Amino acid sequence: MKLVTSFAVCLLGAGSLFSSSALVEKAVASGLKAIPADKTELMKLIDDKNDPITKEKVALGLKLYFDPRISKSGLISCNTCHNLGLGGADGIPAAIGHGWTANPHHLNSPTVYNSVFFKAQFWDGRSPHLADQAQGPVQAGPEMAAPPSMVEQRINSIPEYVNEFQVAYGKDVKVDFEKITATIATFEKTLVTPSKFDDYLNGNEKALNKEEKDGLNTFIDKGCASCHTGIALGGTMQPFELAAKYKFGSVGDFKGNEQGMVKTPTLRNITETAPYFHNGQIWSLDEAVKEMGSVQLGITISDAEAASIVTFLKTLKGVKPAVLYPQLPESTIDTSKPEFN
C-alpha cells in the first residue's frame, strides 16, 4: 500500500537528536518537541499495543474515512469536514453537516493532521483520544446523523468490507460501530506531517534560515509557546480569554468546557487551515497572532513582530503522507438506503 510506504519515507532524513544550538535548547526548554525522525521512535508515540497499527487496518481505515455511506444521507464522509487536500480541515468558518446544517455552536472544523498528538479531542476536550472522537461526528445530528445501528448495517451488508475486517482483525471479528470507528482512528494516526522545523529541532541547523529562526525566537519570547507547546504545538486544554475578551466571542455560544477551558489548536500546517479560532472568524494569520497576543498574553504584538512569528509558523507546513483516493466496495441490495430527513 503506497500510503504506508510514503508514511515511513516522509519521516526519514531529519538528522540526529542532538544540537548545540542555543535556540534549539531554548525551544526545547519552552516545551517544543520535534516529530521523531526515527520511525521506531515515532511508533512508540502513536501506536497502541492493545490495537496495533497494521497496513491492513490502515488500508481499511482509509476507505472508511472516505466512505460517505457511514453518514445518514450517504453524502458526507470524514473527509468532508477534514479534507486531506485542504490541510485536514474544510476552509469554512463553521462546519456544515446533515441537511446543509451549520454547526449550531458555530464551531470550526479542526485539522485531522497530527491529531494523534493531541492530549484532548474536540474544542471542549471531551474525548481523550482519536478512537473515541471518531464516534461523535458520525452520530451527531448536525454532522453525519447516522445511528450506530445504521452504520453497522451498511458496512456489514457489503461482503468486501466484512472480508477486509476479517483480514485486518481475524475471522471472529465483530464488525460493530466501535470497531468501525476505531479503524478510522487507526488510519488517522498515520496522518503525521514532519516539517523543516522538525529537521531543525532534530539537529539540522541549516533547516531554517535566519528569518525563520528569528521568528521562532520571537514566538518563544512573546509567550506563544506557553500554550502552543509539545509535538503538536497545541492540542492541550487551556483557559481562554486570560487577559482580554476575544473580539468575535459573540459569534456562536461556545464557552469551552465546564471549567472554561478550550483545546488549543495545533499550529502545524496553520497556513493551510484558515479561518482561525474556534468559531472561524479570523482569516489572516497575522491578525490571528495579534489577537492571541491581546486575548491570551495581554500584550500588543506589533506588525513587525507578527510578521516575524508568521515567518516561523510557515516552517510548520509539513510533508503529507501520500493518500490515494480509494475505490470503495460496492453496496448490495441489502445496504440500507440513504435518508435525507
106 labelled ligand-binding: no
What cell numbers appear for 286 in the block? 497575522
Catalytic-residue membership of 143: yes
β-strand pairing of 261-263 with 101-102: unpaired
Neighbours of 265 (CB within 10 A): 24
Q: Which residue in the list 56, 143, 152, 305 is annotated as catalytic?
A: 143
Helix (H) or strand (E) holding 135: helix 135-139
ω into residue 275 within 30 of 0, thus cis? yes
SS3 letters for 46-101? HCCCCCCCCHHHHHHHHHHHHCHHHCCCCCCCHHHHCECCCCCECCCCCCEEHHHE
Closest CA to 200 of 103, 315, 43: 315
Q: Is 105 annotated as belonging to a binding site?
A: no
Residues in the chain: 341
Residue 102 carries which DSSP code?
A: E
Q: Is 98 annotated as a binding residue?
A: yes
Flag whether 10 is marked binding.
Answer: no
The dihedral over CA atoms of 243, 246, 249, 254, expressed in degrees to the nearest 10, equals: -60
- Give the residue ranges of the annotated binding site for heme c: 78, 81-82, 98, 224, 227-228, 292
- Give the residue ranges of the annotated binding site: 78, 81-82, 98, 224, 227-228, 292
- Residues classed as catalytic: 143
